[in-house]
Amino acid sequence: MRYSLSMHRIVLLLLVAACASAPLRPLPPADWDRGGTAWVQPPPSVEIGGQQSQDELRSALKSGIEEDLSTAGFRIGQPDDRSELRVILHSTLQVGALSKSILEASADRGGSPLESFSFDAFQLPCWSTYGSTPRENMRCVGREVAARVLESRAVASAMARKPAPPAAVAGMLSGKLAVLELRNFAKDLTHENAQYFTDVVRSAALTAQPQLQVITRENLLVLLQASGKDLANCEGECEVDTGRRIGADQIVSGELQKVGARYKLTLRLHDTREGRLLSSTQASGKTIEELDDAAQKAAADLLSGR
């Protein structure tokens, strides 16, 4: 009798172990930039023995995938975000008698297919027929969908945000460019020194962007006087606004200063229409001669987008 009870317990334990589910599989490591907008379309229907409504199960599956994609770096968007990643679950998922446990899904960007895949929900380690609630099983299926998407080379290639090449900034420049007189905070540099380095920037603009109309110092003074702007304490947005007032499409500003034993030249290039910072750079030197050499290259880099 004791033997029979022991065997019964062993069989029961084996059945419980067989029904127990494994933890959710970990999300794949972040080996590409997963920024952007993602939208998930749930399957037409989900049926699990009538224990919960279709809408509840579809919502649980959708929210689980969205949670994982959000963790991976996506912003969850709306159906009309067609320029970004869409994850669509196609097949009806039924669990029960005569069930269909194969889930088919696909990912696209802007309507262009990227990846299609399918898997058997019953075969997932985290799925349990008896030991988990329907919502937990939907979380299991959703994690597999998210992981498949994140593992996809096609999705990675389409969604990775590559840095713009150096020519991208240069290609955006057109129209008029104004170079404001550099502010001089270095006590041992003269007003003439500051004017010289300002002219270095203007010369670099003509070389790097010959299609630009670079406003001369004389015309700039006239335009500034007409605009009624005092640039003595004007920085950032004020400089951009000044560029708009004088009709410049881009504006360069900057300053000279001395930090310790080194001279520093800082330059910024702004687009006046949108107020965006297009480029910035810095040059330094122990002597004014060294600063001169470094300034030539820094100015060229600023205007060419490097």
- Taking the domains of the chain in order of start, what are their residue ranges? 22-159, 167-304
pLDDT at res. 167: 41
- Whether the pLDDT of residue 12 is over 50: the answer is no
What are the b/e assignments for 79-91, b being 16+ CB within 10 Å? eebeebbbbebee
3-class SS string, 95-163: ECCCCCCEEEEEEEECCEEEEEEEEEHHHCCCCCCCCCCHHHHHHHHHHHHHHHHHHCHHHHHHHCCCC
For residues 24 and 125, give the distance between their C-alpha atoms in angstroms, rounded to a whole number: 8
pLDDT at res. 306: 58
For residues 25 and 5, give the distance between their C-alpha atoms in angstroms, rounded to a whole number: 36
- How confident is the model over 147-158, as a mean pLDDT? 86
Contact 128, 21 (CB under 8 A): yes
> Which residue in 234, 177, 233, 231 sits closest to 208, CA to CA?
177
- How confident is the model over 286-301, as a mean pLDDT? 90
The CATH architecture to which 22-159 belongs is: 3-Layer(aba) Sandwich (3.40)
Fold agreement (22-159, 167-304) = yes
Q: What is the average pLDDT score of the chain? A: 78
More confident residue, 234 or 129: 129
The CATH architecture to which 167-304 belongs is: 3-Layer(aba) Sandwich (3.40)
Which pair of structure tokens corresponds to residue 95? 């669990």
pTM: 0.48
- How confident is the model over 228-244, as a mean pLDDT? 64
- Whether the pLDDT of residue 231 is over 70: the answer is no
pLDDT at res. 196: 92
pLDDT at res. 199: 92
More confident residue, 213 or 46: 213
pLDDT at res. 190: 92
> Which residue in 34, 48, 134, 50 sits closest to 87, CA to CA?
34
For residues 200 and 205, give the distance between their C-alpha atoms in angstroms, rounded to a whole number: 9
Q: Which three-class secondary structure state does DSSP give residue 203?
A: helix
